[in-house]
Amino acid sequence: MTRTLALSIASGLFMALSLPQAIPWISLQPIDPAGHLELAAWIALVPALFALDRARSWKGALGVGLVAGLAYFYGAIWWVNHAMTAFGGVAYPVALLGLSLLVLYMAAHWVGAFVVSFTIRRRLGWPLWIHFPAVWVGFELLRNYLFSGFPWGNLGYTQARHLAIAQLASLGGVYAIAALVVLVNCAVHAAVRARLARERFPWRAPVSAAAAVLATLVYGTAHLAQVRARVAAAPRLTVAVVQGNVNQSVKNQARTYGESILSRYVPLTQEADHLGADLVAWPEASYPYFVPPRFASFAGARTGLPRLDHAHLLLGVATYEERRDYFEALVAETLG
Rg (CA), the chain: 25
Q: What is the pLDDT of residues 243-286, one digit of tens each?
A: 888 877 777 777 788 888 888 899 999 999 999 999 999 988 78
Percent of the chain with pLDDT over 70: 95
- Residue 333's pLDDT is 57
Confidence bin at 187 (pLDDT 50/70/90): very high
Position 292 confidence tier, pLDDT thresholds 50, 70, 90: confident
- Would you state the pLDDT for residue 324? 61
| CA–CA separation, 330 and 336 (whole Å) | 10
Pick the closest to residue 196 from 61, 332, 53, 333 (CA basis): 53
The model's confidence at residue 89, banded by pLDDT at 50, 70 and 90, is confident
Residue range 110-125: mean pLDDT, rounded? 94
Residue of higher predicted confidence among 333 and 246: 246
Residue 228's pLDDT is 95
**Beta strands in 95-164, from DSSP E residues, in sequence order:** none
Instruction: Check pLDDT > 90 for residue 149.
Output: no
Q: Which residues contact 31 (CB under 8 A, 6 or more apart)?
A: 21, 22, 23, 37
**Strands (E) located in the chain:** 239-241, 279-281, 312-314
pTM over 0.75: yes
> Quick check: 65 pLDDT over 80?
yes
| Higher local confidence (pLDDT), 226 or 85 | 226
Taking alpha carbons only, the member of 65, 78, 77, 59 closest to residue 5 is 65
Decide if pLDDT at 114 tops 90.
yes
> What is the pLDDT, as a whole number, of residue 323?
64
| pLDDT range class, residue 336, cuts 50, 70, 90 | low
Which amino acid does the sequence have at 303?
A: T
Q: Which of 15-29, 70-84, 164-178 has the lowest mean pLDDT?
A: 15-29
Whether 23 shows a pLDDT value over 90: the answer reads no
Which of 186, 65, 58 minimizes the C-alpha distance to 126? 186
pLDDT for the residue 327: 55
What is the rounded CA–CA span in Å between residue 146 and residue 138?
Answer: 12
Q: Which residue has the higher pLDDT, 172 or 302?
A: 172
* Segment 32-55 mean pLDDT: 92
Q: Residue 335 has what pLDDT?
A: 58
pLDDT value of position 239: 94
Q: Which pLDDT does position 253 carry in this prediction?
A: 76
Query: 300 versus 100: which is more confidently predicted?
Result: 100
Average pLDDT, the chain: 88
Residue 325 has pLDDT above 80, yes or no: no
